[in-house]
Amino acid sequence: MLRNWIQTLFSYLRLPLIAHADREMNEIREEIAFHLSSSAEEKCEAGMDQQKSQQTALEQFGDVNSVVQDCCHVSLSRHVFWHRIHQILTLGLICAVGFLFWFYTQNKSATNSDLAALAPSGYSLAETNGVIRGTVVTDRGKPVNAAHVLAVVKTWPPNGFRQNSYTAITHADGTFLIKNAYPPQQDYEVQIAALAEGHLLQSEYISMRQGSLKPVRFQLKETAPFVLRFESHDGTPIAGVSAFPFERVDKNGAEHCVYFCSAEPIVQKSNATGTVSMPHFLPGEHVTVYVRFPDSDWQTRQLVVPQKANELVLTPSENDKLDDG
């Protein structure tokens, strides 16, 4: 197909010159024939017979073929110049279109390759090789198995900002590992929280830095049982309420929290009795929890953990839509 297209193109580029030569020669011969006819007619009117007048007109004009060739040469020499200009412009246009097509396809493939090679951090996969590792133990130093580790990594790639969440579960020895989380040679920040059943919520914020992170160590204090009970205003238990611990403020004023974007693994739903176990706070602490009643949006509830009671009752707000049927 390409070969036929090229042959057609070259035929087009050659055709105007050939067509012009044939057309020019025919027009010159017609002009000479008209001139000879007029000359012979004048001689006939002067008294010369027709054959003699034609012969005399031809002899006076000279060699017709030579005149035709000379005239064609002059005409073609002018036409060839402009035809060559036309050829150059046509070929230049073809080359320009070909170059633009090549440039577009190269850039598109390069862009697709670059995007495919980028890690969630916004930097290349090779650059994003930083690991987050650490240990979760009790306040007595014993490893905590199956604890949730929730990490949020912030990066600032060129012309942008990225925030990505990562999760891990501790092993029997209390260790955890999150691979390919951040680019050590670029600026990054990390917020990391640890959460285990029957233990205090604890988190740490690692400010902007470069280089590899040192292992993180969480030492979680054991807590007493504590539940949230969800009831309607008439005291009926509400099942299917989603909830998770968001923030607690310890006695020193330090805030420990879970980022919303990383909280999915720790979201619980209330059972038939309307309760959700949340033993991650100490009595008297000011805490915040996220709750979502059925058919409603997420909302925060700020609470004070009772000193003695091991549960708090939460009821829907005016904006919550409950199916009373």
Q: Average pLDDT for residues 35-59, to the nearest whole number?
A: 64
**Percentage of residues in the chain with pLDDT exceeding 90?**
58
Query: Is the Cβ–Cβ distance between 17 and 83 less than 8 Å?
Result: yes
Write the pLDDT tens digit of every residue in 87-100: 677 778 888 888 88
- pLDDT over 60 at 55, yes or no: yes
Q: Which of 6-10, 99-103, 184-188, 252-256 has the lowest mean pLDDT?
A: 6-10
In degrees, rounded to 5, the angle at the alpha carbon of residue 128 between the alpha carbons of residues 126 and 129 is 80
Q: 205 — phi, psi (to 5°)?
A: -115, 125
Sign of the four-CA dihedral 85, 87, 92, 97: positive
Structure tokens at 135: 């240990």
Query: 18: closest CA among 94, 66, 72?
Result: 72
The CA distance from 137 to 159, in Å, is 40
pLDDT on residue 308: 85
Q: Quickly state the pLDDT bin for 317 (edges 50, 70, 90).
A: confident
The pairing of beta strand 286-292 with beta strand 242-249: antiparallel
Write the pLDDT tens digit of every residue in 108-143: 654 555 555 789 999 999 999 999 999 999 999 999
The CA distance from 113 to 127, in Å, is 16
> What's the pTM value of the predicted model, to 2 decimals?
0.64
3-class DSSP state for residue 70?
helix
- Quote the crossing angle between the two packed helices 2-45 and 50-61, to the nearest 10°: 120
Query: 292: closest CA among 252, 244, 223, 231?
Result: 244
The CA distance from 290 to 161, in Å, is 26
* Rg (alpha carbons) of the chain, rounded to whole number: 46
The CA distance from 138 to 145, in Å, is 10
Neighbours of 268 (CB within 10 A): 15
Residue of 84 and 172 predicted with greater confidence:
172
- Quote the crossing angle between the two packed helices 2-45 and 64-117, to the nearest 10°: 160
3-class DSSP state for residue 309?
coil
Mean pLDDT of the chain: 83
User: What element of type H or E holds 173?
Assistant: none
Q: Quickly state the pLDDT bin for 26 (edges 50, 70, 90).
A: low
